[in-house]
Amino acid sequence: MTRINAPWLTDAAAQKVCGMLVDAGYQAWFVGGCVRNALLGAPVADLDLSTDAHPDTVIALAKAAGCAVVPTGIAHGTVTVIAQNVPFEITTFRRDVATDGRRATVAFADNMTDDARRRDFTMNALYAGSDGVVVDPLGGLPDLDARRVRFIEDADQRIKEDYLRILRYFRFHAWYGDMDEGPDPDALAACAANVEGLQTLSSERITSELLKLLAAPDPAPAVGSMDATGGLAQILPGANAPMLAVLVHVEEQAGLPADALRRLAVIGGDRSCLRLANDAKNRLEHMQSSFEAGALGYYFGAQVAHDALAVRAASLGELVDPDMAKMANFGAQQTFPLAAADLMPGLQGPALGRALKSAKARWVASGFTLTKAELMDA
């Protein structure tokens, strides 16, 4: 018997939510990432439950128990129950009726096995009761133990149900897979056969999955496998996948944490099919700046400066120069000694702005050594 032992499971909020269902004669099973990660000893972010109770019943039981309820996905059988400020996403057992590669039409099911069969990977189809005992309807435990990311039943069919599962496969392999063993051959073949389906997905869904993949401790092997299937070229044409392994080595040497945008910057490619927030776009642009180390720190801050130095070093096949890293930190700490008032009233309007900009450029180029008096005398 396999059992999970996690603080969130024995927490009063979790026991209350499970109890409100079980005491009313319904099933309550934690499922998916929280069970998987608890078994792996990894952090758990979201608490998801499956039940045979229909959404209206879940809502009624939650309200009777004094819990807040949010109908987050009620059309698909999901409601969020908030107990003692902890959110629990509770979904009625479901089975797919029809799929089109992007979304599914579902019907409620009355058993765990049907619910499990509509999930993506065997390691995500693990269930645990409030006592922590794990139920494995589709053989996911051996795969999890072996760090083998495997599609449930027919890989090709699972992908055709939702083409995003191609990207999810490589993301899960990067985070949970055995890099020495490599990807599952059936999964890899199915991904390669269906890569054109990625073109049907929204930019938002692609961007979210790609950034989660690139945030893995070392995504290079998984991204290399995705590149081999043609999947990378579908979402990031022209990307240079081998550069990722170089950057990961540079990051390790420089003591930099994993960062998805830094990795996106180094592999390059056409990002037109991605939907990035403006601050992310700006950070990518700054990371690819040609400024010297001190100027990077001054204009963009220490973090982006170190990112830029790492991207630059990786592109040259080098490590980050410690002296350059120190200069970036030094630049980030500097304060421009000249203010607009120092040049007034002799200069006004656009002329004042140009003078300040020119003075700042000379000050930065001097290594921040020019004094206020020297800047004003020039």
pLDDT value of position 237? 97
- Looking at the structure of the chain, the number of domains it has is 4
pLDDT tier, 107 (very low <50, low <70, confident <90, very high otherwise): confident
pLDDT digits (tens, 9 = 90+) for 304-360: 999 999 999 999 999 999 999 999 999 999 999 999 998 998 889 999 999 999 999
To the nearest whole percent, how much of the chain has pLDDT over 70?
A: 97
60 assigned to some structural domain: yes
For residues 256 and 195, state if they share a domain.
yes
- State the Cα–Cα distance between residues 360 and 362, nearest whole angstrom: 5
For residues 59 and 93, state if they share a domain.
yes
User: What DSSP string describes 114-162?
Assistant: HHHHTSSBGGG--EE-TT-BEE-TTSHHHHHHTT---BSS-HHHHHHHB
For residues 87 and 134, state if they share a domain.
yes
For residues 121 and 94, state if they share a domain.
yes
pLDDT tier, 117 (very low <50, low <70, confident <90, very high otherwise): very high
pLDDT at residue 105 greater than cutoff 70: no
Of 79, 110, 145, at which residue does a domain stop? 145
374 assigned to some structural domain: yes
Domain boundaries, position 369: 338-378
For residues 360 and 264, state if they share a domain.
no
For residues 4 and 97, state if they share a domain.
yes
Of 226, 258, 276, at which residue does a domain stop? 276
For residues 320 and 355, state if they share a domain.
no
pLDDT value of position 377? 80
362 assigned to some structural domain: yes
Q: Which residue has the tokens 């206020």?
A: 372
As given in the structure block, the two tokens for residue 178 are 């055995």
281 assigned to some structural domain: no
Helix (H, G, I), strand (E, B) or coil at 39: helix
Tell me which of 72-86, 133-147, 246-260, 280-294 is least confident. 72-86
For residues 130 and 258, state if they share a domain.
no
329 assigned to some structural domain: yes
pLDDT at residue 225 greater than cutoff 90: yes
- State the Cα–Cα distance between residues 248 and 325, nearest whole angstrom: 17
For residues 211 and 111, state if they share a domain.
no
CA-based torsion, 277, 280, 282, 284: positive or negative: negative
Of 145, 170, 196, at which residue does a domain stop? 145
